[in-house]
Amino acid sequence: MAEVEVWRGGVANWECDQMGHLNVGFYVAKSMEALAGLAAQLGMPGAFAASAEATLVVREQHIRFIKEARPGAPLTVSGGVIAMGESDARLMLLMRHHTGDLAASFQMLVSHATARDGRAFPWPDRIRARAEALTAEVPDNAAPRSIGLAPIETQASLARADALGLSRTGLRVMDAQDCDAFGRMRTEMFMHRLSDGIPHFFVGRRPGAIDTSRKVGGAALEYRLIHHAWPRPGDRLELRSGSAGGDPRFRRLVHWLLDPDTGRPWGSAEAIAVSFDLETRKLITLSDEEFARVEADAVPGLGL
């Protein structure tokens, strides 16, 4: 394995959520800083600068959250290349605690693209040579576990969301500060919007609504995010969310980030979520009554 360190930093208090650990949006924000470091290792040191002619556009992300990061935790990220195509590549980023334990893993499907319009074009030979030297294999504990990576044709649309009765969990407009140097929504903003929407989805749905003796929180174990289009300042965003079922320990959630004016999708995401005890930091297994409610809430056939 030819990993190389591409980021080193830590966890600030303000990056953590009400569960007391690093919020998922900031995991992705740190991974994007690490992606800039990996781009530099590939020979594209200015890939995300305003003056760039070529950049890396993230089309998909697969993320596993493996060991929570609390305030003050020092973290590092190493990266490598899993595979490279004509104009795309699957890259790997591994976030570790100072002990060497994995905190999270990221697989990113990226396009080598023109900076201004995001048009994909072939990798030059010099980058291919560097990529070969950075070829890496995905460790077993970082590989997809409950979410597949097969190509999909999205079913996401506003009309479909209405037909399925998906909950509206977010509604807002893009601001310039949410965008990158090229005027497109920053990659991490998708995850930030999903995180903002979770409390709306779980109102009255947490296990604690039945058993009030427990202090219950939630966490994501795995995510797949697909970017279908890129909002720009002034574009509106509507988030719709639904349950796709689960079992007594794990729940599968699906989120569609939509353009409420055209009905078309900006992005779609699938997540494996759990409830956990905020005092013991242990996963909670749902009772029969709680699991029956999860099953009753599921939307048949809901997917990316």
Q: What is the pLDDT of residues 224-281, one digit of tens each?
A: 999 999 999 999 999 999 999 888 888 899 999 999 999 999 999 999 988 777 777 7
Tokens read off for 259: 């353009």
Closest listed residue to residue 169, CA positions, set 240, 244, 237: 240
Tokens read off for 117: 């319009």
Q: What is the pLDDT of residue 1?
A: 53
**Bridge partner list, 88:** 111
pTM score: 0.93
Tokens read off for 277: 């005890």
**Residue 247 and residue 168: Cα distance in Å, rounded?**
24
Sequence-separated (6 or more) residues with CB below 8 Å from residue 274: 218, 219, 220, 221, 249, 250, 251, 283, 284
DSSP state of 78: E
Domain boundaries, the chain: 1-143, 145-304
Domains 1-143 and 145-304 share a fold: yes
**Bridge partner list, 5:** 78
| Parts of the chain with a pLDDT under 70 | 1, 204-214
Q: What is the pLDDT of residue 205?
A: 59
- The correct CATH number of 145-304 out of 3.10.129.10, 3.90.870.10, 3.30.450.40, 3.30.365.10 is 3.10.129.10
The domain 1-143: what is its CATH number? Answer: 3.10.129.10
Place of tokens 């407009």: 173
**Residue 60 and residue 226: Cα distance in Å, rounded?**
5
Question: Are 217 and 276 within 8 A, CB to CB?
Answer: yes
